[in-house]
């Protein structure tokens, strides 16, 4: 097992996912925070932006160029369209690059342009990048130098459906996905819908039928199935800071009982520490994964309609963002995969 210590830089450290990376990496035995970068707050201390880091980490935010130069590993937590130049520079300098944004998640540049309004400007970089769904693509991640960290909703949905699709338990052409996310999923920038009076004591869907994670989810599920998969995806905004709960509805074509299906899920994930298949009768709850890298999955059925109902819960800031990014770093560098992310969820 690799016990080396690596210099790590975070570009976009002032955002929520970037700040979560800081929190995780401060306790990582194989990582030293070499540089933190923010275009908007260059010259300020990270502790000025996030006072919880006072006397723990008071690094001054530097330029992107400085961050790239100082890091053996470079994380980018930026809006879409801003990571490709950074990836190019890291690739030239032989640095491991992990993108928490959307720029390296989709295989097809035309689909990226359709949904994000940007272009793939370095096709050769996208050809060598690896989609970082840690438990599923571990072998590819081990060899990767550019990793596209999955989105939060796509992580919850992919882990929920992987055993069902791979074992031909469900009709793998059309799924209904009903997901709910905490407000941090919308990012740090304030909008009308994330303004406190609008989201507190409220609950509503948003971007119905047009959320940008739709093609990413369909791409991943299609890879699992070996054929084109379409989804009806409806996200909702929960009046909580953290967490994603996804409920997926699928047609059970296996003829198996829900208990048999649950056993298949348990066998599929039996060696995956961060995925917990819950006992029969329990329901995945975001409360039980909060502040952790765990994904809890529960299996249910609607006998009246022969529908299999899979519920998954993750912390959108950890397993859905910074935690999975660090897990991917660990895999790529040959470090203990649980290093730095082996958090126990709070009991209350």
CATH at 206: 3.30.360.10
- Dihedral angle at the C-alpha atoms of 52, 54, 55, 58, nearest 10 degrees? 120
Asked if 152 is an active-site residue, the reply is yes
Residue 230, CA atoms < 13 Å, CB-side half-sphere: 4
Q: Domain range holding 75? A: 6-128
Same-domain pairing of 245 and 279:
yes
Same-domain pairing of 104 and 161:
no
The answer to whether residue 324 is domain-embedded is no
Same-domain pairing of 172 and 257:
yes
pLDDT per residue, tens digit, the chain (348 aa), is 799 999 999 999 999 999 999 999 999 999 999 999 999 999 999 999 999 999 999 999 999 999 999 999 999 999 999 999 999 999 999 999 999 999 999 999 999 999 999 999 999 999 999 999 999 999 999 999 999 999 999 999 999 999 999 999 999 988 999 999 998 876 666 566 666 777 777 788 999 989 999 999 999 999 999 999 999 999 999 999 999 999 999 999 999 999 999 999 999 999 999 999 999 999 999 999 999 999 999 999 998 998 999 999 999 999 999 999 999 999 999 999 999 999 999 998
Q: Angle formed by the axes of helices 214-225 and 152-166, to 10°?
A: 20
**DSSP strand pairing (307-314 vs 295-302):** antiparallel
The answer to whether residue 292 is domain-embedded is yes
Element (H, E) at 67: helix 64-70
The answer to whether residue 341 is domain-embedded is no
pLDDT tens digit string along 220-261? 999 999 999 999 999 999 999 999 999 999 999 999 999 999
Same-domain pairing of 166 and 267:
yes
Rounded Cα gap, residues 272 and 86, in angstroms: 32
Same-domain pairing of 89 and 232:
no
pTM of the predicted model as reported, rounded to 2 decimal places = 0.96
- Comparing C-alpha atoms, which of 265, 266, 272, 269 is closest to residue 327? 272
- pLDDT of amino acid 190: 58
Q: Which two tokens stand for residue 37?
A: 């970068």
Q: Cα 38 from chain centroid?
A: 21
The answer to whether residue 321 is domain-embedded is no
Rounded Cα gap, residues 125 and 195, in angstroms: 38
- pLDDT of amino acid 266: 98
> Do the Cβ atoms of 73 and 96 come closer than 8 Å?
yes
- pLDDT of amino acid 188: 63
- Angle CA 155–327–292, to nearest 5: 70
CATH at 50: 3.40.50.720
Same-domain pairing of 161 and 297:
yes
- pLDDT of amino acid 189: 63
Based on the structure, what is the number of domains in the chain?
A: 2
Same-domain pairing of 85 and 176:
no
The answer to whether residue 322 is domain-embedded is no
The answer to whether residue 34 is domain-embedded is yes
Nearest-Å Rg of the Cα atoms of the chain is 20
Instruction: With H, G, I as helix, E, B as strand and everything else as coil, classify residue 295.
Output: strand
The answer to whether residue 270 is domain-embedded is yes
Element (H, E) at 326: helix 323-333
Residue 284, CA atoms < 13 Å, CB-side half-sphere: 31
- pLDDT of amino acid 184: 82
Rounded Cα gap, residues 322 and 304, in angstroms: 40
Rounded Cα gap, residues 36 and 330, in angstroms: 20
Rounded Cα gap, residues 284 and 16, in angstroms: 25
Same-domain pairing of 103 and 159:
no
- pLDDT of amino acid 187: 67
Same-domain pairing of 171 and 108:
no
**DSSP strand pairing (295-302 vs 275-277):** parallel
Non-local (6+) Cβ contacts of 155 within 8 A are 133, 295, 314, 319, 320, 324
Point out the catalytic residue in the list 57, 90, 152, 199.
Answer: 152
The answer to whether residue 283 is domain-embedded is yes
């Amino acid at each position: 097992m690799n016990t080396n210590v690596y210099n790590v830089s975070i570009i976009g450290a002032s955002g929520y996912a970037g700040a979560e990376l800081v929190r995780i990496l401060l306790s990582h035995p194989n990582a030293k925070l070499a540089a933190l970068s923010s275009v908007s707050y260059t010259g300020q201390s990270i502790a000025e932006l996030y006072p919880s880091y006072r006397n723990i980490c008071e690094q001054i935010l530097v330029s992107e160029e400085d961050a790239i130069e100082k890091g053996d590993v470079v994380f980018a937590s930026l809006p879409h369209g801003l990571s490709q130049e950074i990836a190019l520079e890291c690739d030239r300098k032989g640095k491991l690059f992990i993108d928490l944004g959307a720029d390296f998640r989709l295989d097809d540049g035309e689909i990226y342009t359709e949904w994000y309004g940007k272009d793939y400007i370095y096709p050769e970089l996208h050809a060598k990048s690896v989609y970082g769904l840690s438990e599923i693509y571990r072998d590819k991640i081990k060899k990767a130098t550019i990793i596209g960290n999955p989105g939060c909703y796509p992580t919850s949905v992919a882990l929920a459906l992987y055993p069902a699709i791979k074992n031909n338990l469900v009709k793998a052409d059309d799924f209904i996905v009903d997901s709910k996310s905490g407000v941090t999923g919308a990012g740090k920038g304030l909008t009308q819908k994330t303004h406190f009076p609008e989201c507190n004591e409220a609950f509503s869907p948003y971007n119905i039928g047009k959320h940008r994670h739709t093609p990413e989810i369909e791409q991943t599920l299609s890879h699992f199935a070996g054929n084109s998969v379409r989804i009806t995806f409806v996200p909702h905004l929960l009046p909580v800071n953290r967490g994603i709960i996804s409920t997926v509805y699928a047609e059970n074509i296996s003829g198996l009982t829900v208990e048999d299906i649950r056993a298949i899920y348990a066998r599929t994930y039996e060696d995956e520490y961060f995925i917990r298949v819950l006992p029969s009768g329990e329901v995945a709850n975001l409360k039980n994964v909060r502040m952790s890298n765990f994904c809890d999955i529960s299996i249910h059925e609607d006998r009246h309609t022969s529908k299999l109902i899979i519920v998954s819960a993750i912390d959108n800031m950890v397993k859905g963002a910074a935690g999975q990014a660090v897990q991917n770093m660990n895999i790529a560098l040959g470090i203990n995969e649980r290093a730095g992310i082996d958090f126990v969820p709070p009991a209350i």
